[in-house]
Amino acid sequence: MTIRGLLPSALIGAVASARSMTPMATIATARLAGRLTPGRLVLLDHPVFKLGALFMGVAELFGDKLKSAPDRTVLLGLVARVASAGIAGAALAPRGRERDGAAIAVAATIPLAYLTLDGRKRAMTRMGQTRSGLIEDALVVAAGALTVALAVRR
């Protein structure tokens, strides 16, 4: 097994750095479409969790545009990113390498949360909170969807 097998886990960790719920929402979408993740994923096989992940993913996209939205690096934000990245990273890792996938996803998420926050703040000064957030949403959701689409199978 090469490191390439764990690349989706690292990429989904990068996605979680910017939007904590997007990894879970993209995997839930794939599971609803009948796709299987390489790693075992018991949690999102339950309908309540699938729908909850989708709801949380959409809610986060709206909530991020609020003036009162906290930075992604506050403790609760980091905890949500770590949890989401870990679960998604494990699901996208090859079977038997779920722990490695979770660790790689989390290792990517934490430092990138600070980098993506810095980038977002710079973009906000140039184009405002809503516009910069919509652009970031489009990039992050596309990256999450592409990562999951390339990693799952029928």
Q: Report how far residue 24's alpha carbon sits from residue 18's, in angstroms, rounded to the nearest whole number.
A: 13
Q: Going by C-beta distance under 8 Å and a sequence separation of 6 or more, which residues neighbour residue 101? A: 6, 8, 9, 39, 89, 90, 91, 92, 93, 94
Sequence ranges of the domains in the chain: 3-145
The full DSSP string for the chain is: --GGGGHHHHHHHHHHHH-TTHHHHHHHHHHHTT-B-SS---GGGSHHHHHHHHHHHHHHHHHTTSTTPPPTTSHHHHHHHHHHHHHHHHHHSPTT-HHHHHHHHHHHHHHHHHHHHHHHHHHHHHH-HHHHHHHHHHHHHHHHHHHHHHH-B-
Average pLDDT over residues 90-99: 95
Model confidence at 120: pLDDT above 90: yes
Q: What pTM does this model have?
A: 0.93
Share of the chain above pLDDT 90, in %: 82
Overall size of the chain counted in residues = 154
Instruction: Determine the residue type at 83.
Output: A
- Confidence band for 143, pLDDT divided at 50, 70 and 90: very high
| pLDDT score of 4 more than 90 | no
Using the predicted structure, report yes or no on whether residue 149 has a pLDDT greater than 80. yes
pLDDT at 1: 53
